[in-house]
């Protein structure tokens, strides 16, 4: 499948219609889904309607934007008016939002064609898509392996060309990790850059929506469409949004102008040697492209994971209190009074990982433990932020691996939550500091599984991240490889 720009040219030159592109995509989804299970629901009817509207515009000689007629997947935690939004949870099984999230509204206004709602970990809690209450998504490079999580469906769909681009959300790594496991580009923007209105809340001080694409340019174009101030989100930033796709160049010259910092603490024990080699090579490549490379220490980086697993569950326990069987979603029939209706609804509506988080969060926020856990974790969060601030006084962009290893087998970590949590070791500090982070392919292991390189910049320097990522991407051919869609199911 072509890039956004190529499809756009075909559309305006009337070589292909939006309906043709959409139908082809829907056919591909139909043939691949029995194997991949990327989508919780395919919105074929709506997609064809949206495509017809784009074709009508073209026929009437109207100008269309870059995303018009482009098939796109949406993670199922973004509210879509009239279309079921489940968060991959039983508790929202029949929830049909009466309103549109800001991001999907912006996409529809731009003429994008939504082909489906993508699978995810339940309430975005997980690193493998396996906590979904509905289905397991396969990794397109080996379907017996996980696509990463929590936005695994969005990443797998893009990698397998079931759509051109997609949206995911990232609270502790949920865009970057699946991007790394599926060999695509995934970016988590600065906290507040993209409106969270209509995004089902997991941990509100960490959640951010961001793009997936098979190329840096596609991801940049998608971010441009969804970013921007929204009065409906009180944490939305009111800042000018640069044209991210406009200044992409294939090098980082003049030499030495761009300083890159390698985060020392992300190397060494716990890091797979094949990942280490690929990332080291990528850093050499960035140097060859003109960057000046420094080694940077972020000593508090390693406290990200423990503080995240206090802060995120605490916020989740508060956010998930609203699912009580009364207002919307699933209600247990197995109750004879109000109290037992609440408890039975929550006991059967939430999966085990979500319940674990609610219990941890409730405990950490309880009167006797608040200071010892929650307050302490918030203080550590500040220290991690300071590490990054220090780093950005010395360099422009930080690099490290996205994940310690490549995609693991389905079922391998489901009984060991701690080892599952460790997958996000390198991505979590970025959320705690509210910074933008991007993952892009930087190699493959000996089993043909993709490896991700993470780039991190200071707040609101998404433009710089895209520039560095683009220069690297254009000097390698990792992004041109296609998944086999093989492996034992």
CB nearer ligand GLN, residue 124 or residue 455: 124
Question: In terms of C-beta density within 10 A (0-12 exposed, 13-18 middle, 19 or more buried), how is residue 14 classed?
Answer: exposed
List all residues 6 or more positions away from 480 whose beta carbon is below 8 Å from its beta carbon.
none
CB nearer ligand GLN, residue 387 or residue 424: 424
CB nearer ligand GLN, residue 139 or residue 150: 150
> From the CB of 271, what's the least distance to ligand GLN, in Å?
18
Buried-exposed string 465-480: b where 16+ CB fall within 10 A, e elsewhere: bbbbbbbbbbebebbe
| DSSP 8-class letter at 477 | -
Nearest-CA neighbor of 250 among 213, 284, 285, 212?
Answer: 285
> From the CB of 367, what's the least distance to ligand GLN, in Å?
25
Residues lying near ligand GLN in the complex (CB under 6 A): 124-127, 150, 170-174, 202, 312, 424
> From the CB of 40, what's the least distance to ligand GLN, in Å?
16
**Number of neighbouring beta carbons within 10 Å of residue 369:** 15
Q: Tell me which of 38, 127, 132, 150 is the catalytic residue.
A: 150
Which residue stretches of 60-200 are H helix?
A: 102-109, 152-159, 176-182
Judge whether 332 counts as a catalytic residue.
no
71-75/165-170 β-pairing: parallel
CB nearer ligand GLN, residue 126 or residue 211: 126
> From the CB of 329, what's the least distance to ligand GLN, in Å?
20
Q: Tell me which of 75, 117, 188, 413 is the catalytic residue.
A: 75
Judge whether 150 counts as a catalytic residue.
yes
Q: Tell me which of 17, 151, 154, 174 is the catalytic residue.
A: 174
> From the CB of 58, what's the least distance to ligand GLN, in Å?
38
CB nearer ligand GLN, residue 424 or residue 463: 424
Judge whether 75 counts as a catalytic residue.
yes
List all residues 6 or more positions away from 231 whose beta carbon is below 8 Å from its beta carbon.
none
DSSP string, 412-444: SSTT-HHHHHHTTTTTHHHHHTT--EEEEEEEE
At CA 193, angle to CA 80 and CA 397, rounded to 5? 130
- Residues annotated as catalytic (active site), given as ranges: 75, 150, 174
């Amino acid at each position: 499948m072509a890039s956004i720009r190529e499809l756009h040219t075909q559309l305006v030159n009337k070589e292909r219609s939006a309906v043709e592109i959409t139908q082809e995509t829907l056919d591909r989804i139909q043939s691949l889904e029995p194997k991949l299970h990327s989508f919780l629901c395919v919105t074929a009817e709506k997609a064809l309607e949206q495509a017809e509207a784009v074709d009508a515009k073209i026929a009437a000689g109207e100008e269309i934007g870059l995303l018009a007629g482009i098939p796109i997947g949406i993670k199922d935690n973004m509210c879509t008016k009239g279309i079921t939004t489940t968060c991959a949870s039983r508790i929202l099984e029949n929830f049909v939002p009466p309103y549109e999230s800001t991001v999907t509204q912006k996409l529809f206004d731009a003429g994008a064609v939504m082909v489906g709602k993508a699978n995810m970990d339940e309430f975005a809690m997980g690193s493998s898509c396996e906590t979904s209450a509905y289905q397991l998504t396969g990794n397109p490079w080996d379907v017996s392996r996980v696509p990463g999580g929590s936005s695994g469906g969005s990443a797998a769909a893009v990698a397998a060309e079931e759509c051109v681009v997609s949206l995911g959300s990232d609270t502790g790594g949920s865009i970057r990790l699946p991007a790394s496991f599926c060999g695509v580009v995934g970016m988590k923007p600065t906290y507040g850059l993209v409106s969270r209105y209509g995004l089902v809340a997991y941990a509100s001080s960490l959640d951010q929506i961001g793009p997936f694409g098979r190329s840096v340019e596609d991801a940049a174009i998608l971010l441009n469409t969804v970013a921007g101030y929204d009065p409906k989100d009180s944490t939305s930033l009111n800042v000018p949004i640069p044209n991210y796709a406009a200044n992409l160049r294939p090098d980082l010259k003049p030499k030495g102008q761009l300083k890159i910092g390698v985060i020392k603490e992300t190397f060494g024990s716990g890091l797979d040697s094949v990942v280490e080699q690929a990332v080291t090579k990528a850093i050499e490549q960035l140097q060859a492209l003109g960057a000046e490379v420094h080694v940077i220490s972020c000593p508090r980086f390693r406290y990200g994971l423990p503080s995240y697993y206090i802060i995120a569950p605490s916020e989740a326990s508060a956010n998930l209190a609203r699912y009580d069987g009364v207002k919307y979603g699933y209600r247990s029939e197995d109750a004879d009074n109000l109290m037992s209706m609440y408890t039975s609804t929550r006991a059967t509506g939430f999966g085990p990982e979500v319940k674990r988080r609610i219990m941890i969060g409730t405990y950490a926020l309880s009167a006797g433990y608040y200071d010892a856990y929650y307050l302490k974790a918030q203080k550590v969060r500040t220290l991690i932020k300071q590490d990054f601030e220090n780093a950005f006084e010395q360099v422009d962009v930080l690099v490290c691996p996205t994940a310690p290893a490549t995609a693991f087998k389905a079922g391998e970590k489901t009984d060991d939550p701690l080892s599952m949590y460790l997958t996000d070791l390198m991505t979590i500090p970025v959320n705690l500091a509210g910074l933008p982070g991007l993952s892009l392919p930087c190699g493959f292991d000996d089993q043909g599984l993709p490896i991700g390189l993470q780039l991190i910049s200071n707040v609101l320097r998404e433009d710089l991240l895209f520039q560095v990522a683009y220069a690297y991407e254009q000097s390698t051919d990792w992004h041109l490889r296609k998944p086999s869609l093989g492996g034992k199911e």
